[in-house]
């Protein structure tokens, strides 16, 4: 079981961000994990009909199947390593595991036109 599987299992078992789960996330992802936890706790992970979006401090990032359109995912991470995730993708996984997604019954592609 890899590091991501360990914290996802801990979240699935508890249904919440327990101190043990937080430690596993931070051990696996460091600062990226901390930023993801912060985004989830601030309800910045939004689920639309077509995409899941994480609201960052400067922009919104579309995450789909662990792929993200951020610069970190594009330039710094190894696509072949399942443990290397940007903080946006980590936040989506955490939010899904503990049912902390902010659901919006609309299409993000339509919302994005107004931003």
pLDDT at 27: 96
**pLDDT value at position 78?**
86
CA distances to 5, 53, 83, 111 from 75, rounded to whole Å, are 24, 20, 16, 27
Q: Helix H segments across the chain?
A: 3-14, 19-29, 31-41, 71-75, 87-97, 108-112
Per-residue pLDDT at 111 exceeds 80: no
Residue-wise pLDDT for 61-98, tens only, equals 999 988 998 999 999 998 788 789 999 999 999 999 99
Q: What is the mean pLDDT of residues 37-52?
A: 95
Give the largest CA-CA distance in the chain: 43
Residue 45 sits at the vertex; the CA angle it makes with 97 and 95, to the nearest 5 degrees, is 10
The answer to whether residue 101 scores a pLDDT higher than 90 is: yes
């Amino acid at each position: 079981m890899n590091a991501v599987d360990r914290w996802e299992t801990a979240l699935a078992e508890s249904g919440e961000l327990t101190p043990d789960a937080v430690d596993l996330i931070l051990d696996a992802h460091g600062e990226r994990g901390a930023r993801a936890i912060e985004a989830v706790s601030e309800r910045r992970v939004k689920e639309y009909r077509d995409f899941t979006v994480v609201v960052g401090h400067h922009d919104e990032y579309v995450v789909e199947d662990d792929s993200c359109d951020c610069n970190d995912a594009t330039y710094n991470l190894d696509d072949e390593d399942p443990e290397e995730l940007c903080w946006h993708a980590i936040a989506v996984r955490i939010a899904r595991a503990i049912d902390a997604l902010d659901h919006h019954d609309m299409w993000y592609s339509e919302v994005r036109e107004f931003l």
